[in-house]
Structure 1
């Protein structure tokens, strides 16, 4: 079973979940807000995608961040801020069984899930 990390009311997460359902791929949602965020997952995601990719700079959370934090963002700061404010993480993320996807792109999903 594939675990999709994100937030249930995110439109992009909804698109990914619908695609997985439509393609008969067994999955479950791990919602950061209700299920929490394992620091180890965040470290693994950063190692796979890089902190710059993990930070969703199009989010409301980013726009509301203190400008000092945004201007001085680096790996350690990013991981700390992402742990405190998981709505800042780009989503959805699938990171298991040799599959590493962030965001939703139909071509990438087709390639990953055949």
Structure 2
């Protein structure tokens, strides 16, 4: 079973969920605004995809926090991400021990075929 992690009103999440619905692919959706990832869940996702893949460094929150150009460790970035989960690149797709980030139809289809 897939778990799609993101924010409900995100256009990329809407595209992803619509794509899955069209293919009748079962999934659960987790809105991090209503049900944030625990520290352990976030660490697990980070261990699978890495901080550079998981953290959106081009979004408004990155700029709002003034993080550009600062020398920040991966651990510090993980702590920032835990407190600001809207900075998670979307969608975060989880299936068993695997994870992927972003919506690409071919990549998602391959991921589902291999892990779901």
Same fold (TM over 0.5): yes
| Aligned residue number for residue 20 of structure 1 | 20
Distance in 1 between the 2:98 and 2:49 partners?
A: 12
CA RMSD of aligned residues (A): 1.6
Deviates more, 1:7-16 or 1:58-67: 58-67
- 1:15 is displaced (CA, Å) by 1.0
Kindly indicate whether structure 1 or structure 2 has the higher relative contact order, using CA contacts under 8 Å at least 6 residues apart.
Answer: 2
- Give SS of 2:37's match: coil
| Aligned residue number for residue 11 of structure 2 | 11
- 1:113 is displaced (CA, Å) by 2.3
> Is 2:45 aligned against 1:45?
yes
- Give SS of 1:71's match: coil
Distance in 2 between the 1:15 and 1:70 partners?
A: 32
With normalisation by structure 1, the TM-score equals: 0.89
Matched pairs, number: 113
- Give SS of 1:94's match: strand
With normalisation by structure 2, the TM-score equals: 0.88
Distance in 2 between the 1:22 and 1:36 partners?
A: 27
> Is 2:101 aligned against 1:102?
yes
- 1:66 is displaced (CA, Å) by 2.4
Structure with bigger helix share is 1
Distance in 1 between the 2:60 and 2:44 partners?
A: 25
Unaligned runs of 5+ residues in structure 1 are none
